[in-house]
Structure 1
Amino acid sequence: MDSELGNFGLGGVDSHDGPRAIRAWRRVRWVLCALSFLAIPAFYIELNATAQFSLTVARTLYLCMFAGFASLLTWMHHVSRKPKVWLAHNRLDLVIMIGSGLSAGFGATPWQPAEWFLRMAFMCLVALRIVLSLRSFFTPNRLVWLLVAGACVLAMAGAGFYWLEPRVHSYADGLWLAFKSGATVGYGDFAPTTPASRVFAAFVVLLGYGMLSLVFASIAAAFIGKEERALRHEMHRDIKRLSDEIIRMHVELNALRKALNISGGGGDDVVQLRPRDAP
C-alpha cells in the first residue's frame, strides 16, 4: 500500500493482504483510471447538450463509468482478505462511483449554483484520481516522456477549445488558445466566453502549469545532474589520489622503521633493569 496515496483515499491494497488481491489490484487500478477518463467527455457533452440525444450520450457515459467502478470495486472487496481496510484505503473510488451514479440520473442543464458546485467538485476528484494514478510517469527525470505528454495534452486541449468555444473557428486557433491558457499568457485576441470553455480553460491552466513546471524542472535537473556527475567524478579522483598517498606514506614509514631498527640494533648496549632487592 502507498501510504502517501492513502492520505488521498487511493492507497491500493495493503501489503499484508492476500496475494490474489495484490495481483488483482495491479490490473484493476489501470482499468479504474481508464474509466475515470469517461467523466471528461460526459461532463462537457452534458454541459453543451442542446438535444435529448446529447444528454443521453452523456448519461450513458456516466452510467458506464458507474457500472465499471461498481463491478471492479465489488470484485476487489470479494478477493481482499481485509475488505473493510481496503475500502477505507480507497474511499476516493467509492466517492467517484457514487458521483458518477448520481450524474447519470440527475442534473440536466442549466445547472443551479449548488449543482455547479457538486459537478465541479466531482470533476476535481476525478482529475485528482487521474493525476495520482499517472504520477509515476510525470517525474522530473523523464524529459522525453514529459515532452510527449505535454504535446498530447496541448493537442487535446486545442481540440477541446475548438469544440467548446464559438469564437474559435479553426483547430489552429484552438491550439493557440490552449497554449496561452497552459502558459498563463493572455494576449487578448482569444478568450473563453461560454461556461463550458471557461471551465475547460480552468483545467487547462492547472494542467498546463503543472506540465510546464515539470518540463522546466526536468531540463534544470539534466544540467544539474551533469554538474553533479562531474563533481562526483572529481571527488572520486581526489579520494583515490589521497588513498594512494596514504599508502605511499605507510610504505615509506615502514621502510624508515626497518632502517632505524637495522642501524640501531647492533651498536647500542642493551641495559637490563633488575628489580631492587627487598629490604
Structure 2
Amino acid sequence: MKESLRVAGLAGVDAHDGARAVQTWQWMQWALFAFSLLAIPAFYFELAAESGLHPAGRALYACMFTGFGAVLARVAGLSHKPQRFLVRNGYDVLITAGAVASAAWGISPWSSVEWVLRILFVGLVAVRIVVSLRSFFSPGRLLPLLVTAALLVALAGAGFYWLEPGVHTYAEGVWLAFESSATVGYGDMAPTTPASRVLAAFVVLLGYGLLSLVFASIAAIFVEQEERILRREMHRDIKALRAEIAALRKDVQARGAEAGVAGAPVETVNPAGPDPGESH
C-alpha cells in the first residue's frame, strides 16, 4: 500500500526525514483533507453559473490553492530534502496547480475540453479525499460507516434539491440520492441537468463503495464472533493439553526414579578373599 502511494505521488514525508517535518505532516494531512472538500461546492457553483466564473466558486478555488500551497511550503521548509518531498507528493502539487487553473480560467457554458478537465480535477480531488480517509473507512468500523452513509444521502439530497428541476422538495432529493447511492433506479426520478448528472455519478461511486464497506463490516462482525468462540475453545484445549503433558512428565520422572532405585548395582564381598591371580 505504501509503495503504491509512493508511486502515485502521495507518499508524504519520508520516515527518515526530520522529526519536525514528520510530526507536522501528520497534522497537516487533515488540513489538506479540509481544503480538498472546497473543490466540491466550487465545482457546482461554477457549473450553476450562467456566464463567466461564479465569484463563490472562484473564492473557494483560491482558498484551496492557498491552503495546499501553504501546507506544502511549510512541510518542505521543515524537510531535510524539500525537493524530494515535493516529488514524493507530486499528486498534491498537481492538485494545487489545478486549483489555480480552476480559479483563473473558465468560460460558461463549458466546452467539451473544459468539461473533461473539470471532471478530471474533481476526480483527482475525490481520490485525495479517499486516501486521506483510508484508515477511517476500515471494514471493522460499522458505526462511522453508517453515519457517513447517512450524511452522504442527506447532503446529496440537498444537492439534488438545488440542482435538479424535477426535484421539488428536500424529501424527493433524499429519495433520489438514496436511489442513486443504492443503484436501485426505480425510474420515478432521474437527473436531467448536467450538474445533477455529475452529482449522481459521484453519489453512485461513493454510495457503492460505502455500501460495500457496510456489508463487509457486518460480515466481519459475524466472522469475528465465530473466531472468538474458536479461539476460546482453542485456548481451553491448549490448557488441557498442557495439563496432560505436565502430568505425563511427572509420571515419567516418577517411573524413572523408581527404575533407578530398583536397578542400582549392589556391591558384593568375596568371602574367599582376593583372587590369587590378581596383580597388586
Separation in 2, partners of 1:22, 1:267? 78
Which position in structure 1 is the counterpart of 2:183?
Answer: 184
TM superposition score normalised by structure 1: 0.90
Corresponding residue SS for 1:135: coil
1:61-86: per-residue Cα shift (whole Å, max 9, x none)?
11111122222222222221111110
* Contact residue 50 and residue 109 of structure 2 kept, 8 A: no
Q: How far apart are residue 17 of structure 1 and its match?
A: 1.2
Deviates more, 1:257-266 or 1:145-154: 257-266
Separation in 2, partners of 1:220, 1:157? 27
* Contact residue 51 and residue 107 of structure 2 kept, 8 A: no
Which position in structure 2 is the counterpart of 1:23?
Answer: 23
Write the letter of the residue equivalent to 2:14.
D
Separation in 2, partners of 1:27, 1:49? 35
Q: How far apart are residue 252 of structure 1 and its match?
A: 1.6
Corresponding residue SS for 1:136: coil
Which position in structure 1 is the counterpart of 2:276?
Answer: none
Question: Unaligned stretches of 5+ in structure 2?
Answer: 269-280
Which position in structure 2 is the counterpart of 1:13?
Answer: 13
Separation in 1, partners of 2:267, 2:184? 92
Separation in 2, partners of 1:267, 1:129? 88
Separation in 1, partners of 2:267, 2:242? 37
Which position in structure 2 is the counterpart of 1:91?
Answer: 90
Corresponding residue SS for 1:193: coil
Write the letter of the residue equivalent to 2:43.
F
Corresponding residue SS for 2:139: coil
Corresponding residue SS for 2:138: coil
Which position in structure 2 is the counterpart of 1:272?
Answer: none
Which position in structure 1 is the counterpart of 2:274?
Answer: none
Q: How far apart are residue 258 of structure 1 and its match?
A: 2.7
Which position in structure 1 is the counterpart of 2:205?
Answer: 206
Map 1:75-224 onto structure 2 (within 5 A).
75-224=74-223
Q: How many correspondences in the alignment? A: 268
1:223-243: per-residue Cα shift (whole Å, max 9, x none)?
100100110111111111111
Corresponding residue SS for 1:141: coil
TM superposition score normalised by structure 2: 0.90
Q: How far apart are residue 202 of structure 1 and its match?
A: 0.5
Q: Please say if 1:49 is aligned against 2:38.
A: no
Max radius of gyration: which structure?
2
Which position in structure 1 is the counterpart of 2:256?
Answer: 257
Question: Unaligned stretches of 5+ in structure 1?
Answer: 270-279
Deviates more, 1:206-215 or 1:19-28: 19-28
Q: How far apart are residue 143 of structure 1 and its match?
A: 1.0
Separation in 1, partners of 2:180, 2:128? 22
1:126-155: per-residue Cα shift (whole Å, max 9, x none)?
000011011111001111111111111111
Q: How far apart are residue 51 of structure 1 and its match?
A: 5.9
* Contact residue 158 and residue 177 of structure 1 kept, 8 A: yes
Separation in 2, partners of 1:267, 1:72? 91
Separation in 1, partners of 2:155, 2:29? 24
Q: CA RMSD in A?
A: 1.9
Separation in 1, partners of 2:3, 2:47? 36
Separation in 2, partners of 1:23, 1:221? 33
Map 1:58-77 onto structure 2 (within 5 A).
58-77=57-76
Q: Please say if 1:232 is aligned against 2:231.
A: yes
Change (3 A) 1:260 1:210: same
* Contact residue 2 and residue 12 of structure 1 kept, 8 A: no
Write the letter of the residue equivalent to 2:38.
L
Separation in 2, partners of 1:162, 1:268? 108
Q: Please say if 1:33 is aligned against 2:40.
A: no
Q: How far apart are residue 102 of structure 1 and its match?
A: 0.6
Write the letter of the residue equivalent to 1:25.
W
Separation in 1, partners of 2:60, 2:107? 15
1:90-140: per-residue Cα shift (whole Å, max 9, x none)?
111111111111111112221111111111110000000011011111001
